[in-house]
Amino acid sequence: MARPQPRPGVLDIAPYVPGKSKAPGVARVFKLSSNESPLGPSPKAVAAYKAAAARLEEYPDGAVSELRAAIGRAFGLDPERIICGAGSDDLLNLLTHAYLRDGDEVIHTEHGFLMYPIYALGHGGKPVAVREKDLTADVDAILAAVTARTRIVFLANPNNPTGTYVPFSEVKRLHRGLPEHAILVLDAAYAEYVQRNDYESGIELVATSENVVMCRTFSKIHGLAALRLGWLYGPGHIVDALNRVRGPFNVNTPAMKAGVAAIEDAAHVEMSIAHNTRWLSWLTREIGGLGLKVTPSVANFLLIHFPETSGRTAVDADDFLTRRGLILRRVAGYGLPNALRLTVGTEEANRLVVQALKDFLGQAA
């Protein structure tokens, strides 16, 4: 029987599967699987969100003017070169929608964000996965993969789930090697957490280029993941194209109001950064001291590697931790079947997960 068929490529998509959030039969659960802020949002953002409830009958400001202005003030950017969306995911999808033609190639690294190939296939593109070096994006490998059909290069910096990053000098070298028709997308969702002198989120490169954009999110450092809010800074001509294809009200009013309050609460941001810096270092040291390999991370999570020995695998560890109410993220879908990703949590959660891993390894001895 004949029936409607989706465009070629759509049925080749492996749907994105989020990390689990429940541990059946466990009374108290610590969700450490989604890189969410352990401190939550700014109280000022919560108050702004609640205040917006008084006028829910009104459509949002389609231009997102107040939020774009707040972002511009915070980073010294021209609001006219900023576009907001329902999470940075929304903006990445708009980029592929606006710039891909059938058969165009989209480059991403082998352990990059799972949505990159999904967006490419959904808009008729061909995803090209490039090998990483030591779980880090390899600029030479990316440039070697570029062809005349390359239209978009996605670089998550820092990268999820590895937690690694590319120094700014290498990002600039990557840009210099790309053809002018290809867009370099710097996905800087975790930029605020990075404490490295050789890192730059991409603002400078965007400001001086015609084919570079930078995406940021309110889901991580600002703790507003439930509201789905992100922003993109890019050349005027790219922002203009994206505004032509985005939905007229793609950001809701409570999200806008909370976003303005969040980005203006610098003290809460600094508190979140300080918490992450302290506990990321502690977790890396303590888990490494148990004999498990931990990939050095600059974000708010870390990648823990497990042996393939029966009883000690990542799957075994995940099952053990889940029974303790500690939910980590399996990353086999990212091509890392022998690892788990751990989000930096509260002090209590961090100490509990280290003790649970110690018990797991002792049990498996």
Q: What is the pLDDT at residue 7?
A: 81
Is 191 inside a domain boundary?
A: yes
Is 1 inside a domain boundary?
A: no
Shared domain for 140 and 162, answered yes or no, is yes
Shared domain for 60 and 156, answered yes or no, is yes
Is 94 inside a domain boundary?
A: yes
Shared domain for 250 and 292, answered yes or no, is no
Shared domain for 91 and 224, answered yes or no, is yes
Is 10 inside a domain boundary?
A: no
Give 233's strand partners. Answer: 82, 214
Is 3 inside a domain boundary?
A: no
Is 132 inside a domain boundary?
A: yes
Is 7 inside a domain boundary?
A: no
| Domain limit, last residue, from 226, 241, 265 | 265
Shared domain for 170 and 291, answered yes or no, is no
| Domain limit, last residue, from 265, 295, 318 | 265
Measuring CA to CA, how many Å separate 33 from each of 134, 350, 361? 23, 13, 21
CATH number of residue 110's parent domain? 3.40.640.10
Q: How many domains does the chain have?
A: 2
Is 12 inside a domain boundary?
A: no
Query: What pTM, to 2 d.p., does this model score?
Result: 0.94
Q: What is the pLDDT at residue 24?
A: 77
Shared domain for 345 and 198, answered yes or no, is no
CATH number of residue 36's parent domain? 3.90.1150.10
Residues of the chain under the 70 pLDDT cut: 1, 21, 364-365
| Domain limit, last residue, from 225, 243, 265 | 265
84: domain range? 43-265
